[in-house]
Amino acid sequence: RMDWMEQIRAYQPLIQQEVTDQKQMLEDLQQYGSRILFRDLETVHMTCSGFVLDASMEWVLMVQHKIYQSVCWTGGHADGCEDLLAVAVREAQEETGLSDIFPLCSQLISLEILPVPAHEKYGKPVAAHRHNNVTYGLIGSRRGKPTGNEAENDGAAWYPVADLPQICKEAHMLPIYEKLITRMRQIKKQQQAILKQLPSLLLPWYAVHARDLPWRKDQDPYHVWVSEIMLQQTRVEAVKTYYLRFLKELPNLQALAESSVDQVQKLWEGLGYYTRVKNLRLAAKMIQADYGGVFPDQYAAIRKLPGIGDYTAGAICSICFQQPTPAVDGNVLRVIMRLTDCYYEIDSPTVKRAIQAALAEDYPTTQCGDFTQSLIEIGATVCLPNGVPQCDCCPLAQICRSHLFGTPDVLPTRKKKQKRKVESRSVFILQCGKKYALRRREQTGLLAGMWEYPNVLGWMSEQQAIHQATAWDCQPVELLKMVHKKHIFTHIEWNMIGFYLQCRTQSPAFEWYTAEEIRRNLSLPTAFRMFRPDMNLEAYLL
């Protein structure tokens, strides 16, 4: 991103007053440099304002300022921070008590020099001085109730934009506010206009650069459906082998509908997120029963199938039936946020739905499937995550606001992740003769209905483990070895200790299988598969 000095230098004044103010700011930068970021420079210092509108841009969030005795925008001193945008967001959140406030974009939307009269703060006199102020446009959610901040203001509230002339007592600020509203609405239109250009830029690029993937050989909805379910939360390279093996054994809807639970789970073994394949099989049965084995071709019907959400329904309808139904995944969200230089949190369902609706308006009349896949493809191969997009070979660089303002390394933004829950577990690999104990997990919850080695919450000592095996009526004879493993799910982490015990009795509490039977016929989720006695490290990593 441009540093704060570059932003001030690059800003293009909208009115004559800004020309004058920018000139003064540049002279101050020449004289004081970064010292102007600090308040101990008493005559002048940098401040950052955030002008907060709601998504409709018809409501404005203002605070009742104690010094000026008027409703006004939010803002505060830079206090040494060079990320002026971050200061504007922080001050807006602190002054209004709302956390759902985000930048409309990264660019400055205004700059002005603001005189500050002498006043008292925290009981101490403050001499008259001036603020070299920069303003950013922010978007807030009206779902939360503003609370204000007693140290800074006498409250905060949302007001209709049309009411500003009546509620603002600072006549000299009204033209600034009106300019900010106009500017933010213009930026929103510019962001929306970018989406309209996508088909003409992406379709020719996709025709040349599309990867040769096995599920792109045809538009059979069964093939596309299976691939899309497999690709959720899984890398493309990992899916290729699974996809071909799955279709070889279950080549059509009827075969999937007639398959057994163990059969499909074994085919899925190692892909993780096993609810996906459970729902895949249930949906196939539903299609056989309700649609005569013919895959439905309407979005609403497809969306009702188990395990199919907006993304998968959109992908199937556009790729297989050439309907203008976007498939918005993480790749697409990242591309759109960077193209528009937008700071909305992409893990918000509201944001995802808004992007889906916006894209649907700009779909081409033909090649809907290619357009859907081109959006996914540009995110997967060019507009890469973690701040490393290949802008030099991107067909969208010419219209990309993030590329223009240097923000791909900070976009997209996400909600702060909650700390993952950590559980300790003791896992028992109980061997009697050549057979090992397994049991089914409960039909609901994590890894529902999957096979597992017997296990209990908490780490046990060797003696406790022997007592536990005895309580299961397995008559343990010898502790062969102990191993430690860790497995990370989306929201939980298992730290596990595995006890390999030689036993005399095959307890009826479990089902007993040979290592070969487990390997060939039964699907163990990865959390337990890595304890399999015949599973060496190389095989586990594969």
Task: Give me the active site residues, please.
Answer: 228
Tracing tokens 């007001």 back to the chain, one arrives at: 159
**Element (H or E) spanning 464, and its range?**
helix 462-471
Please classify residue 461 by burial: count the beta carbons closer than 10 Å to its beta carbon, then call 0-12 exposed, 13-18 middle and 19+ buried. exposed
Q: How far is CA 63 from CA 97, 170, 303, 412, in A?
A: 11, 13, 44, 29
Residues 6+ away with beta carbon under 8 Å from 416: none
Cα 508 to Cα 268: distance, rounded to the nearest angstrom? 28
Residues 6+ away with beta carbon under 8 Å from 10: 2
Q: Where are the strands (E) in 411-471, listed by range?
A: 421-432, 435-440, 451-452, 455-457
Q: What is the 3-state secondary structure (H, E, C) of 143-185?
A: CCCCCCCCCCEEEEEEEEHHHHHHHCCCHHHHHHHHHHHHHHH
Q: How many residues does the chain have?
A: 542
DSSP 8-state assignment for residue 133: E
Rounded (5°) CA angle 268-527-456: 130
> What is the distance, to the nearest Å, from the Cα of residue 404 to the centroid of all Cα atoms in its chain?
23
The answer to whether the Cα torsion of 412, 416, 418, 420 is positive or negative is positive
- The count of other CB atoms within 10 Å of the CB of residue 132 is 23
- Tell me phi and psi for residue 395, to 5 degrees: -70, -10
Cα 61 to Cα 142: distance, rounded to the nearest angstrom? 9
**Element (H or E) spanning 111, and its range?**
strand 110-116
**Element (H or E) spanning 487, and its range?**
strand 476-488
